Structure 1
């Protein structure tokens, strides 16, 4: 089964064409600057690349261009749209309504529209992608795979905020968590690497421009760092992470900032960028630290310290740990961050092997010492495979 995987953003559109049974990826690409001028970057075959500069006034033109590129011309990988048997959509926020992936129906779309206040930047674009695919490929099944679904197994005492209870009952204000497809994939891979499907205590650190940590007990999430929105939790590329409400209100009063200005600052101008003053890209900040830039050093120390705090708290929540996993662009590629995070965690049974840690590989691997009581894994994530696999199972009737 060929599954067309779609991740629709406000001005971009990421896609893959994959067979989830064989795990064969036929093509991968992105449409950028939708509504501005437009560029398509398309990868196919044995590392071949194609770039097309073309006007994309809306997401509809972008998806039409992708489908033409997949079926015709230099970037062709299938004979016709008929070779696409299903469409799997990344859906950011499912609230409490969706604890698993679902077939897209009118009722599902209406429910997602009601959840737009929880994800005003993401859900409208996700919904748009679904409706356009229904229009362009009528009759083909569409499946929504929610970032929040994996975290719906959290107990109430973990996801509730200590606000008046009616803020939860009236407005759904609680922790939801994100990056769920990545946390699911990596924790499941870790269980396989442990060769242990039961009584597993796994901590997953998904570290990239957006970062989150989860505590996974026996394959079920019991806590995660992101909250109502993705700004809570770890310090990230441009997001502030955990900041006290008093500090936010004081900053607003001192600067005369509106709520929207404050959210823009906390989401787009804070984190690694805000502290370093150099970049949101940790690689550039690590270079700056090596050159003696003290603000870059501070940003790196803060990133690692924040991760370590969450790891320690989740060891407590899990009553121990069998595996600590690193994934995402930073988690998979930054040996220094892994080293700093794991330094001093010997008492928790986590002992990193410097030689294994510094050996580069694009495959899942164990970087703990042989004598470490718990394992430390680096596992490349594959969120697209989760979306394709869920789509295949639902469309094939394997998940009822």
Structure 2
């Protein structure tokens, strides 16, 4: 009998899910619930090419997982193949350097790390709690976004602040999007067999965005820090700014530091500069119609992405490959071209025709013929990594 894994990705206001079989390569059903904890909560199922959407009377995480359970009860051919549940967890701190089978000690560790991810880890813990309740007897597995970056050296993960803050409170760079980077690194080695012995720069660009340097198959640097706010300019996040801005913003708007940080997380980035949208597609459309603020926002995004790629490259012996992934990285020829133009010092050149005509959802090499570092577009698949980790641990 084929074994399948239910993958659950709980956010503070959304929940993505999928059931993957055949070693994670076949999606039996997938879906998403969004606008949770509001009176507009919905859940969407996609099965055999058909989408169905249902309004949730109660927009809680438990209600969502209950609907998933009810759907599976009505599709016993899928339900009976389930052998486990895999959960994406944003922050594993220094406690978790790999995926683990979940027990009470693991749940306690996830809750302990919630101080670094207060919007995400409590939601993950709630999703795990509900899954244990509704799927009794099925092993549950936690896969951590921070785990891939546990190979960073101290000179890269420590902040230049008094060491007692690290000793007593574990304040350090952790990095995120690790499940995506691990997938890209693993998948890329099947395309370029010697890539695990080469220097690879990966840009995971979406509403949340970061970069990672992969040296000999391991993360050697990444742009996000103790939280996902550090690093690149993003959809609504400012990325790295002078820390004094928190105080200046607080004084200017007469707000406390918590509200100032909320502004940097939720009202800045592409949205803050364009004063229009955090969606790259909307901004590119507006730019083509002559909106100068939309163009400025996109250009700033490109400049900052290139700078962080260049910074991360200092941990590599040489740059052999640059890989774009994530919603923006996979689908925006404009930003790929602009980012690479700012990296010409590394002789990174792309073929404009290949870049413009790269088919969506496919692996593409968009390098110019005279470019030594090869430039790629590779769609990420975090759900596959979660399913594979779950199967390995269960077996």
| Preserved contact between residue 246 and residue 261 of structure 2 (Cα < 8 Å) | no
What is the alpha-carbon distance in structure 2 between the residues aligned to residue 3 and residue 106 of structure 1?
21
Q: Which moved more, 1:236-245 or 1:6-15?
A: 6-15
Q: Which moved more, 1:228-237 or 1:2-11?
A: 2-11
Tell me the residue number matched to 2:151: 153
Tell me the residue number matched to 1:62: 64
TM-score (norm 1): 0.94
Q: Which moved more, 1:346-355 or 1:105-114?
A: 346-355
Tell me the residue number matched to 1:210: 208
Tell me the residue number matched to 1:44: 47
Q: How far is 1:57 from its partner? A: 4.6
What is the alpha-carbon distance in structure 2 between the residues aligned to residue 312 and residue 367 of structure 1?
19
Tell me the residue number matched to 2:320: 322
Is 1:7–2:5 an aligned residue pair? no
| Preserved contact between residue 320 and residue 348 of structure 1 (Cα < 8 Å) | no
Q: Which moved more, 1:164-173 or 1:247-256?
A: 247-256
| Preserved contact between residue 366 and residue 377 of structure 2 (Cα < 8 Å) | yes
Tell me the residue number matched to 2:25: 23
Rate the CA distance shift 1:80–1:329 in 2: closer, same or farther, 3 A.
Answer: closer
Specify every segment of 5 or more residues in structure 2 that has no aligned partner in the other structure, as ranges.
none
Q: 1:296 aligns with which of 275, 294, 297?
A: 294
Rate the CA distance shift 1:22–1:162 in 2: closer, same or farther, 3 A.
Answer: closer
Q: How far is 1:128 from its partner? A: 0.9
Q: Which moved more, 1:99-108 or 1:281-290?
A: 281-290
Rate the CA distance shift 1:198–1:93 in 2: closer, same or farther, 3 A.
Answer: closer
What is the alpha-carbon distance in structure 1 between the residues aligned to residue 27 and residue 73 of structure 2?
15
Q: How does 1:161-172 map to 2 (within 5 A)?
A: 161-172=159-170
Q: How far is 1:282 from its partner? A: 1.1
SS in 1 for 2:77: coil
Q: How far is 1:41 from its partner? A: 0.6
Q: 1:229 aligns with which of 227, 230, 235?
A: 227
What is the alpha-carbon distance in structure 2 between the residues aligned to residue 223 and residue 44 of structure 1?
39
| Preserved contact between residue 86 and residue 140 of structure 2 (Cα < 8 Å) | yes
Specify every segment of 5 or more residues in structure 1 that has no aligned partner in the other structure, as ranges.
none
What is the alpha-carbon distance in structure 2 between the residues aligned to residue 133 and residue 111 of structure 1?
18
TM-score (norm 2): 0.96
Tell me the residue number matched to 1:391: 390
What is the alpha-carbon distance in structure 1 between the residues aligned to residue 110 and residue 245 of structure 2?
33
Rate the CA distance shift 1:22–1:220 in 2: closer, same or farther, 3 A.
Answer: closer
What is the alpha-carbon distance in structure 2 between the residues aligned to residue 35 and residue 301 of structure 1?
35
Q: How does 1:176-195 map to 2 (within 5 A)?
A: 176-195=174-193
Tell me the residue number matched to 1:369: 368
Q: How far is 1:376 from its partner? A: 0.3
Q: How does 1:324-343 map to 2 (within 5 A)?
A: 324-343=322-341
What is the alpha-carbon distance in structure 1 between the residues aligned to residue 36 and residue 295 of structure 2?
37
What is the alpha-carbon distance in structure 1 between the residues aligned to residue 370 and residue 201 of structure 2?
19
Q: How far is 1:191 from its partner? A: 2.8
Q: 2:120 aligns with which of 82, 104, 122?
A: 122
What is the alpha-carbon distance in structure 2 between the residues aligned to residue 193 and residue 110 of structure 1?
39
| Preserved contact between residue 29 and residue 42 of structure 1 (Cα < 8 Å) | yes
Q: How far is 1:127 from its partner? A: 0.7
Q: How far is 1:10 from its partner? A: 2.1
Tell me the residue number matched to 1:131: 129
Summarize deviations over 1:3-56 as a string: whole Å, max 9, x none: 0000112232210000151611001101223332331111011x1111112312
| Preserved contact between residue 109 and residue 127 of structure 1 (Cα < 8 Å) | yes
What is the alpha-carbon distance in structure 2 between the residues aligned to residue 236 and residue 364 of structure 1?
24
CA RMSD of aligned residues (A): 1.4
SS in 2 for 1:85: strand
Aligned length: 391
Q: How far is 1:170 from its partner? A: 1.2
What is the alpha-carbon distance in structure 2 between the residues aligned to residue 71 and residue 233 of structure 1?
44
Tell me the residue number matched to 2:237: 239
What is the alpha-carbon distance in structure 1 between the residues aligned to residue 132 and residue 190 of structure 2?
37
Q: Which moved more, 1:193-202 or 1:176-185?
A: 193-202
Q: How far is 1:80 from its partner? A: 6.5
What is the alpha-carbon distance in structure 2 between the residues aligned to residue 89 and residue 389 of structure 1?
12
SS in 1 for 2:214: strand
Tell me the residue number matched to 2:88: 90
Summarize deviations over 1:145-193 as a string: whole Å, max 9, x none: 0010001110010011101000111111111001111111112222332
